[in-house]
Amino acid sequence: WGATVITSMVWGGFSVSNATLNRFYALHFLFPFILAALAIVHMITLHKHGSGNPLGVDASSDRLPIAPYFLFKDAVTAVLFVLVVIALVSFAPNWLGHSDNYVEANALVTPSSIVPEWYLLPWYAI
């Protein structure tokens, strides 16, 4: 019952229409940003000085602090990744696209590119 109520509140009712599908797609759009925020919160709250101990040695000399090394390395990687994605989206936006993305959302029509697997057809018939 709870799942039905939560789904009804998130989706906006039991009818599946264009507004419902757009809301569903918007939630999927926000999901990567939520994951990124959780990763940042994880780095801020859980990583303490000397917590990077890959060998499990008790000596403090073998531990690398997260602050200068790992954060800089991860920041450079994230900046490079974002620059590549921005360049790709800005200069060649359709390379990552699919023709079905330009079709208006309609829950009653399955795109012709979606074909069910032959071995699942008996279960679809039930």
* pLDDT tens digits, 33-90: 999 999 888 877 766 655 665 566 666 665 666 667 778 888 899 999 999 999 998 8
Which residue in the list 8, 51, 60, 99 is annotated as catalytic? Answer: 51
Annotated catalytic residue 42: no
Give the H/E segment covering residue 27.
Answer: helix 18-46
Instruction: Give per-residue pLDDT as tens, 4-23.
Output: 666 666 666 555 566 667 77
Which residue in the list 62, 74, 98, 99 is annotated as catalytic? Answer: 74
Give the pLDDT band of residue 98 (cuts 50, 70, 90): confident
Annotated catalytic residue 117: yes
Which residue in the list 48, 49, 73, 98 is annotated as catalytic? Answer: 73
Annotated catalytic residue 100: no
**Residue 59 exposure: Cα atoms within 13 Å on the Cβ side:** 3
Annotated catalytic residue 104: no
Answer yes or no: pTM beyond 0.85: no
- Give residue for tokens 């109520």: 5
For residue 52, what are the β-bridge partners? 64
Annotated catalytic residue 73: yes
